[in-house]
């Protein structure tokens, strides 16, 4: 049985030489789960992007810089970080099409935020200044496998089925988060302060986003998150097989 092809959108690094890339941890997680990663670079014309999109069986939207607030009708907050119009455009086009066509989606950190915006939601542009909390949500100085706070996972959700628990302790490297939930989505995990940690569609499609970085935990401190990548790849495989019948 051929491995399902998982599209991973890239980030553009302009210096010292422009390059499209994605962190190797995402690639490793997809490969370990049984998928075949296909990197989707920046700078594609419409025909090239369409050709690549038709090859993939699922979409992984990775972490990265902030999503532009212009996409959900807000002015930039003073604490807004770097944004990339080109990356926003690439991922919005892919996410919107995948949502419409039922392609499995896994969004991680920026990815869950982009997914929410693509579906009509909004974001906290800067959690520390806009949301009252005693939790630290950006503690990247301790490393990508450092577990810093717990999340409560909704029983019966796809996330709960994937990791096998209604509680988990996660890493955290974000200052933005989902604020207003899109229609036809539901919250399936929250941090102790109420910040949304996971969203899913309210139907039987595999469309799921998490605020943590499971690609940094599944091999070390939180092995249960290997199940999230496995469930995503299995959904992509199932969709691929259904289209071949």
- Catalytic residue (choose from 137, 149, 174, 213): 213
Establish whether 215 is a catalytic residue.
yes
Beta bridge partners, 112, equal none
CA–CA gap between residue 59 and residue 80 (Å, rounded): 26
Q: What's the CA angle centered on 109, arms 149 and 194, to 5 degrees?
A: 45
The candidate with the shortest Cα–Cα distance to 95, out of 80, 82, 112, is 112
Our CA angle for 220, 222, 223, nearest 5°, is 75
Round to whole Å and give the CA distance between 193 and 175. Answer: 14
Largest CA distance in the chain: 52
105-108 and 149-153 as β-strands: parallel, antiparallel, unpaired? unpaired
DSSP assignment of 18-52 equals -EEE--HHHHHHHHHTT-EEEEE-SS--HHHHHHH
Identify which of 34, 18, 26 has the alpha carbon closest to the alpha carbon of residue 236. Answer: 34
d(CA 50, CA 46): 6
- Are 124 and 179 within 8 A, CB to CB? yes
Options 10, 109, 148, 212, the catalytic residue: 109
| Residues designated as active site | 109, 213, 215
């Amino acid at each position: 049985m051929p491995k399902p092809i998982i599209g991973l959108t890239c980030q553009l690094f302009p210096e010292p030489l422009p390059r499209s890339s994605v962190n190797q941890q995402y690639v490793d997680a997809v490969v370990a789960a049984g998928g075949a990663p296909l990197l989707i670079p920046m700078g594609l014309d419409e025909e090239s992007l369409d050709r690549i999109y038709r090859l993939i069986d699922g979409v992984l939207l990775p972490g990265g810089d902030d999503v532009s607030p212009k996409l959900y009708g807000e002015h930039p907050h003073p604490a807004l970080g770097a944004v990339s119009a080109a990356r926003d455009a690439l991922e919005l086009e892919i996410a919107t099409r995948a949502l419409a066509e039922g392609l499995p989606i896994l969004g991680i950190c920026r990815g869950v935020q982009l997914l929410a915006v693509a579906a009509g939601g909004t974001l906290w542009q800067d959690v520390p200044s806009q949301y009252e909390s005693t939790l630290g949500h950006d503690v990247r100085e301790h490393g990508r496998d450092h577990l810093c706070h717990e999340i409560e996972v909704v029983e019966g959700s796809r996330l709960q089925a994937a990791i096998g628990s209604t509680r988990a302790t996660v890493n955290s490297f974000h200052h933005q988060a989902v604020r207003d939930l899109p229609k036809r989505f539901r919250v399936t995990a929250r941090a102790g302060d109420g910040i949304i940690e996971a969203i899913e569609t309210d139907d039987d499609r595999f469309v799921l986003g998490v605020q943590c970085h499971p690609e940094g935990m599944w091999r070390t401190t939180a092995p249960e998150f290997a199940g999230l990548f496995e469930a995503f790849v299995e959904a992509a495989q199932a969709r691929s097989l259904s289209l071949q019948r």
